[in-house]
Amino acid sequence: MSSTVDNSAMTITKASPLTANRLWLLIFIVALAAMPLMLPGYWIFFAGLLGINIIATHGLNIMMGYTGLLSLGHAAFVGVGAYTVAILQGRYGMPFWVTIPTAGILATVIGIAFGLPSLRIRGLYLVIATLAAQFILHFVFVNWESVTNGDVGLSVAPAVVFGIALNDETSIYYLILFFVVVSTIFARNVIHSRVGRAFIAIRERDLTAQVIGVEIVWYKLLAFGLGSFYAGIAGALLAYFNRFVNPEQFGLLLSVFFLSAVIVGGMGSILGAILGAAFVTLLPEFLRETSLLIGSSLGFDLATILTPLRETIFGLIMVAFLILEPRGLAQLWTRTRRKLLRERA
Amino acid sequence: MSPMQLFIEYSIVGIAAGGIYALIALGIIVIFKASHTFNFAMGEMMMLSAYFFYAATVTFTLGPVVGMIVAMVGSILVALVIERVAIRPMLGRPFIAIVMVTFGIGSIIRGVVGMVWGPNEMNIPAILSRSPVMLGDIFVPGKTARAFAIAVVIVVGLIAYLRFSRAGVALRAAAESAVTAYSMGINVRNVVAFSWIIAAITGCISGVLMANVNTLTPHLGMIALNVLSVVILGGMASIGGVLVAGFIIGWLEAITGLFLPSEFREITPYVLVLIILLVKPTGLFGGKEVERI
């Protein structure tokens, strides 16, 4: 029985003062910026999608990984962000620097409205409240037809940044990259601040945290609001990315998708959120390619079972990581790196 | 038909649906009591049993009685495997981690069923008679009425069993304090496995009943998410509360369909959950499970 409690495991990685690390980070960001020059558009499309998923996963990771607040409604808050953009831009012609922050703020307000009653109670109640948020918001997307245009959805004009319309995958990629970098740095800084330590204290032992002077309800609210804000920003970018918003995109399945991203990457790790988002973004594509390949070589069509296959595999990796490697890919990465360093020394 | 009659008819259909809700909720609560595990895979366990029934009766053309036995045995085996392989290794881990495991299991079952049986609607052989039941001059659809009767008999039977049997006492002792129960000689592991068997039984019966009243699809299990409101309204760990809560939720859902456009029915349970959380998070019959901070 592996009864190791997750808690002790999830410590904060020390902020690295090493300039070498910073240099590598800089090189990495420059490489990301130069990527569209080297790779075909198909891959840039995936890079853009990955960026959006990273932002949303950061949000869920702050709530779930750092503060211990499980949300099953993350997709719906992403949807709130996306619809905010589609409506503000489509109806009122507002520019992206108004719509994107508004999307974040609106997602925060709605998230807190749903979370408030149950944030005061321990345990399962928040999970159920967020599940309720998922279904109720989805219902609103479908049925508030005068605003959301129902199942048909809304189309979104390209964002215009400094007079340039971001109407292909490369140009929108740069906008997404900017937000990924900012949101990653911001998440890292929050976690390394007083606020982040309060989040972790609540996750570890809420009563102890209260006793040493952490206002639990306030910080839970902050974590929940911050997570929803990230979801709203991710949704806003998704609207500009797909140039189209409809309710189908924001179902319970997408919430499960973000949940598995956090679990696979490693709860309570910034690097984990990035790795997890990459894993779950690329996995469906990998599954599609391999099943098409196997299908064509065996002479039958595997495309029909693709959706259930994806559901099965997502479930399996979630359960497997939770049981076998609760600290996720981030931990695997640290361990491998340590081993390599030791061998070199 | 007079509006009053319409109201009564809707109410009866709603309360009848509530009987099955109570059955599903009972499966969730028994596991919660035994091990503080909230089983989000309940709906999928229920849906899978209905597919077992389908396979036995349609694919292998066995009779409905043998089909029911096959479904029951299959359902119990699956529940025991889940408990042994996925839940027991999570002992002592944070609450939300275990919730996520059950969520993942639900996803696996949904996917596997989708791969084996496909996404289309299927019909299982009718085990419930269609002929309507008349209460005075009020018309109750036959399948709904009979499903209700079966569900209520089983719920009441199980509640009585859990109240008076040794197993039920062990379950309540484990719910009170697993450590104390263990030191008093109760095998808490067996109690947990027992709770999963009970959940498999209620899941199997409710699954076959649901598939009879509606049709069978891999999304049949989504109904269990509506049942969360029953669990919350009854009070998380109140076995006796489920029946009353099930009736109330079923009734309110039907009444919503009467006064508002029918699409509102699907979110009624969730709106109710939020209201309950706001007004009385302990539910009607719950108590100490709610810890305010």
Residues in chain B: 293
| Binary contact (B110, A311; C-beta < 8 A) | yes
Dihedral of CA A80/A82/A84/A90: which sign? negative
What pLDDT does residue A152 have? Answer: 85
In this structure, are strands B138-140 and A164-165 parallel, antiparallel, or unpaired? unpaired
pLDDT reported for residue A18: 54
Helices (H), B36-141: 42-54, 64-82, 95-117
Instruction: Tell whether B243 is covered by a domain.
Output: no
Cα–Cα dist A301/A321, whole Å:
31
Residue B139 is encoded by which pair of tokens?
A: 């018309």
- What is the arithmetic mean of pLDDT over A166-191? 88
Residue type, A106: L
Q: What is the pLDDT of residues A197-238, one digit of tens each?
A: 999 988 888 888 888 888 888 999 999 999 999 999 999 999
Of B92, B112, B236, the CB nearest to A3: B92
Looking up tokens 């997570």 gives: A227
Residue A4 has pLDDT above 60, yes or no: no
Q: Residue A342 pLDDT more than 50?
A: yes
Scan residues 141-180 of A and list those with Cβ closer than 8 Å to B: 142-143
The pTM for the full model equals 0.87
How much is the ipTM here?
Answer: 0.86
Return the DSSP state at A13: P
Identify whether B169 is part of a domain: yes
Give residue-wise pLDDT tens across range B116-156.
998 888 888 887 777 777 777 777 788 888 888 899 999 99
Q: What is the residue range of B189's domain?
A: 3-229
Q: Contact B277/A129, CB-based, under 8 Å?
A: yes
Residues of chain B predicted below pLDDT 50: none
What's the confidence (pLDDT) of residue A7?
A: 45
In this predicted structure, the answer to whether residue A162 has a pLDDT above a threshold of 90 is no
pLDDT reported for residue B287 = 62
How do residues A23-69 score in pLDDT, each as one tens digit?
A: 777 887 787 877 777 777 778 888 899 999 999 999 999 999 899 88
* pLDDT score recorded for residue A11: 46
The tens digit of pLDDT for each residue in A106-146 reads: 999 999 999 888 787 777 888 888 999 999 999 999 988 88
Q: How far apart, in whole angstroms, are the C-alpha atoms of residue A216 and residue A224?
A: 12
Cross-chain residue pair B267–A139, CB shorter than 8 Å? yes
Query: Does 3.30.70 match the CATH number of domain A6-344?
Result: no
Question: How many domains does chain B divide into?
Answer: 1
Asked, for residue B9, whether it belongs to a domain, the answer is yes
A94: alpha, beta or left, given left = phi > 0 and alpha = psi -120 to 50?
beta
Q: pLDDT tens-digit profile of A227-250? A: 999 999 999 999 999 988 999 889
Residue of B nearest to A71 (CA): B96
- Write out chain B residues lying below 8 Å of A256, CB-based: 103, 107
Residue B258 CB contacts under 8 Å (≥ 6 apart), including other chains? B6, B7, B10
User: Among residues B256, B242, B254, which one has the least CA distance to residue B284?
Assistant: B242
What integer pLDDT is reported at residue B76 of this predicted model? Answer: 96
Per domain, the residue ranges of chain A are: 6-344
| Residue B126 identity | A
